[in-house]
Amino acid sequence: MPSTWLSPSAHWKRRRPNCQACATSTWRPRRPGTTSATRCPDSRATAERQERLEKKGRPVETTSTSDKTAGLIGLGAMGAGIAATLRRAGYQMHVCDARPGAAQAFAQEGGTAHGSPAEVAAQCERIVSVVVNAQQTEEVLFGPDGAAAAMKPGSVFVMCSTVDPNWSIGLEKRLGELGIHYVDAPISGGAAKAASGQMTVMSSAKPEAYAKAGAMLDAMAGKVYRLGDRAGAGSKVKIINQLLAGVHIAAAAEAMALGLREGVAPDALYEVITHSAGNSWMFENRMAHVLAGDYTPLSAVDIFVKDLGLVLDTARATKFPLPLASTAHQMFMQASTAGFAKEDDSAVIKIFPGIEIPKAKDKA
């Protein structure tokens, strides 16, 4: 039996007036000279977005007060954060995950847990998939108890994985033949930004797909980039982002390794670099893991084996040289085969010989 949750919105209604446009409990004081109707920031943004779309002759986004229901498949570090963000935004969430108990744990705080993608799809016209790769997405859609067969025509499937852009283009066509809209929507920002609703979505889709999913995308991310009117562009931009991310992590590890080899105090090196021109977001973030001796995987080594492999495959198709990406890919491959595949991607520093990396600090 799926676990269910009853929204406490009835209690809020007694305490503060609701927005008359979206029926949420978010409230702002009435400004002098305005009517008594209250309108929350989210509903104002939605109304303004609808007006802009109408002026451009594009389909308006169709989320209504009676249809704030969404499904999410894949409750990993990113998926769980996205699902929680949508739940806070007022969406009634239907979730499932391949790991036993993950969906039930999420539903304890609100939402409905299901045993398969098909069960989620039977309840929702908007499905977000946050799994590792194209193979898992295929299983979500077309495997046993897959979502595609249970989705109603006119529903929308939002794909957030990092995949080959050509595969994403093909998926749009396959789902279109079933009457299902598709949004190519890889994500970036990490688990913390997913949980706070501040991650980035690099999307591309047909106008009809945006009309169905646009409001939900805006609710789950701080930045939603619309990069094209068909699938593929979103995944291409994500591939380029991953090229930079992988190279930056590899370079950060190499720099810290050289410092350790030369006897520089690692804490001092970190302090100086993070306040100097050589700093990068990846150095600041990932080398903090190294200093703590904590390789709990927020993004694993094997993620960059996969993602940099996709980068190289994309460039190889047009014989485009990527010397830095190629070197970084080999570094992650070496770390993976040395036994660090499931560790945090900062564990790529462990491939360097003749250094002693900081040990895990004892927890008080």
Q: Write out the catalytic residue numbers.
A: 238
Cβ neighbours of residue 209 under 8 Å, at least 6 residues apart?
156, 181, 182, 183
Dihedrals phi, psi of 344, to nearest 5 degrees: -55, 145
Please report which helix (H) or strand (E) contains residue 71, including its range.
strand 69-73
Contact 203, 185 (CB under 8 A): yes
The string of DSSP codes covering 176-230 is HTTT-EEEE--EESHHHHHHHT--EEEEEE-HHHHHHHHHHHHHH-SEEEE--SS
Tell me 286's DSSP state: H
> For residues 236 and 191, what is the distance between their CA atoms, to the nearest angstrom?
22
Q: Quote the longest CA-to-CA distance of the chain.
A: 72
Contact 298, 344 (CB under 8 A): yes
Cβ neighbours of residue 318 under 8 Å, at least 6 residues apart?
none
Segments in the chain forming alpha helices (H): 9-15, 41-55, 77-88, 102-107, 117-123, 134-142, 165-176, 190-196, 207-220, 233-261, 266-273, 281-292, 301-316, 323-335
